[in-house]
Amino acid sequence: MNLALSFGIISLCVCFGLYIWHTRRIKKLEYSYNLTLEQYKEQLLQANLALQNAHNEQEILQSQMSQRLQDMQQMYQNALLEEKAHSQAMLEHLKEQFIYTQNEQERLKEQNKQELQNAFKALSADILAQNTQSFNQSQMLSLQPLREEIQRFTKQLSLNYETNLKQHASLETQIHQLHKLNLQLSTDAHNLTNALKGENKTQGNWGEVILQRVLENSGLQQGREYEIQQTLYDDSSNLLRPDAIIKLPKHNEVERCVVVDSKTSLIAYERLCNAENEEGRIQARKELTLSIQSHINALSGKNYQQYLQGQKLDFVLMFVPIEGAFLEAMQYDMSLYDKAYQKGVVLVSPTTIMVVLRIIHNLWQFEHRNKNIDKIFNEIQKLFVYIERFENTLERLGKNINTLQKTFSDEVMVKYNGTQGIASKSESIQKLLKGAGVEMIDENALP
């Protein structure tokens, strides 16, 4: 019995000791659990704050990016619309300018063509009247001083005959020398006249030289706007060689040109100048006119314009290099110009041909300006192509911006609202915290 009591007391002591030990362990575990729970609460609180901050920053960033993308898209769309409107307005303006330029060009071409045809008659008639009067006046003015000088010299000889008798020998010697010099000059002039009168070829060469000098002074360029001694062939393969072929600006991409041929009537004009009386001058003037008419018939019969390539005018310019001969013939036969024109020949002198050449020179200058306008229009067309490409680039850029915005929105939605996104994970954490008895911080309480 004592043994049983002792065993009971010992068991009771052991149980009490185990109870005390278990109680202390439970307190230690409870303390450790509370400490760990406080740490977890602190960490969860910090994680919740960090998550909330990240969420706010994410929303702010998303809002800013969306606003920037919208601003950029609006800016590019406005720029595209403004550029397109400006380009359309410029295109319409340039089209109007081009149509106006073309119409003006056609009008000026027709006007210049008509003026070119009318200029021959009007200018020739005016210049003929002016030059005839000027020629007669210049002859009278040039002979009047000589007549007065001869009269004065004769009178002086009569007055001083006796006083100069002693100097007769010296004067006779001087007169003899002057006579020899006069003979020499007469011989030289006669030789020059014979050289020009001796062969028609020599006269023709002289006329060609005068024509070439006139062409050189007209502003036209040889090889580009006129040709000298260009070779042509008729239907029988006979050689034709006009003195000059003047090119005109193209019309509808077709070349145009006019033939100029020099004809000299030097012998007839020399007889007119040497005629001693009015009857002789009338006869010489008639021979001069007949000589020019013969040249007109010969030039009309050659029909140069038929064998020229491209489009050609229906007349040939006959150049009379001696202005005086031209005026004398026109004065003798006032219908000579019309007769020549009816045969496809237009008479021109050094004065009138210069007017014609200046008109042609102005036509070429207008043609060169038109070519520059065409080049400018081609460059403008290239600019329009570049603008169109730029518009396409802006459209592609706008599409890329839209694609980028959509990709950004989709990525944000997946990362934030997806099953594995930030919002889903945040809700899971909040559920865990609520299950652990942790109170969540109110968003409105955050600073």
Domain extent, residue 109, equals 102-146+200-369
In a domain, 115, yes or no: yes
Q: How many residues does the chain have?
A: 447
Which helix or strand (DSSP H or E) is residue 123 part of? helix 2-159
10 pLDDT band, cuts 50/70/90, is confident
pLDDT given for residue 240 in this prediction: 75
246 pLDDT band, cuts 50/70/90, is confident
Query: Which has more confidence, 356 or 87?
Result: 356
Report yes or no: 264 and 321 within 8 Å, Cβ to Cβ: yes
pLDDT at 440 over 60: no
pLDDT tens digits, residue range 162-183?
554 554 455 455 445 434 533 4
pLDDT at 400 over 50: yes
Among 76-85, 134-143, 355-364, the least confident range: 134-143
Calculate mean pLDDT across residues 39-64. 74
Residue 310 DSSP symbol: S
pLDDT given for residue 2 in this prediction: 63
Those residues whose C-beta lies under 8 Å from the C-beta of residue 109, and which sit 6 or more positions away, are 251
pLDDT given for residue 191 in this prediction: 47
In a domain, 248, yes or no: yes
In a domain, 350, yes or no: yes
Query: Which has more confidence, 86 or 114?
Result: 86
Among 41-55, 108-122, 219-233, 298-312, the least confident range: 108-122
Residue type at 157? L
pLDDT given for residue 192 in this prediction: 46
In a domain, 18, yes or no: no
421 pLDDT band, cuts 50/70/90, is low
Percent of the chain scored above 90 by pLDDT?
0
User: How far apart, in whole angstroms, are the C-alpha atoms of residue 296 and residue 304?
Assistant: 13
Q: Find, among 287, 280, 277, 272, the residue nearest to 324 by Cα.
A: 272
Report yes or no: 336 and 295 within 8 Å, Cβ to Cβ: no
Among 106-115, 119-128, 270-279, 292-301, the least confident range: 119-128
pLDDT given for residue 346 in this prediction: 87
358 pLDDT band, cuts 50/70/90, is confident
Query: Which has more confidence, 319 or 241?
Result: 319
pLDDT at 187 over 60: no
pLDDT at 277 over 80: yes
pLDDT tens digits, residue range 225-238?
888 877 776 666 67
In a domain, 337, yes or no: yes
pLDDT given for residue 353 in this prediction: 84
pLDDT given for residue 434 in this prediction: 62
User: How far apart, in whole angstroms, are the C-alpha atoms of residue 215 and residue 229?
Assistant: 13
Calculate mean pLDDT across residues 428-435. 62
pLDDT at 131 over 60: no
**How many domains is the chain partitioned into structurally?**
1
Averaged pLDDT of the chain: 69
Calculate mean pLDDT across residues 65-83. 72
What are the backbone dihedrals phi and psi of residue 317, each rounded to the nearest 5 degrees, phi first? -85, 125
pLDDT tens digits, residue range 247-269?
888 766 667 788 888 887 767 77
Three-state SS at 336: helix
User: How far apart, in whole angstroms, are the C-alpha atoms of residue 204 and residue 208?
Assistant: 6
Report yes or no: 370 and 105 within 8 Å, Cβ to Cβ: yes
In a domain, 293, yes or no: yes
Q: Find, among 37, 41, 57, 39, the residue nearest to 422 by Cα.
A: 57
User: How far apart, in whole angstroms, are the C-alpha atoms of residue 293 and residue 329?
Assistant: 10
pLDDT given for residue 166 in this prediction: 55
In a domain, 182, yes or no: no
In a domain, 57, yes or no: no
pLDDT given for residue 444 in this prediction: 54
pLDDT given for residue 342 in this prediction: 86
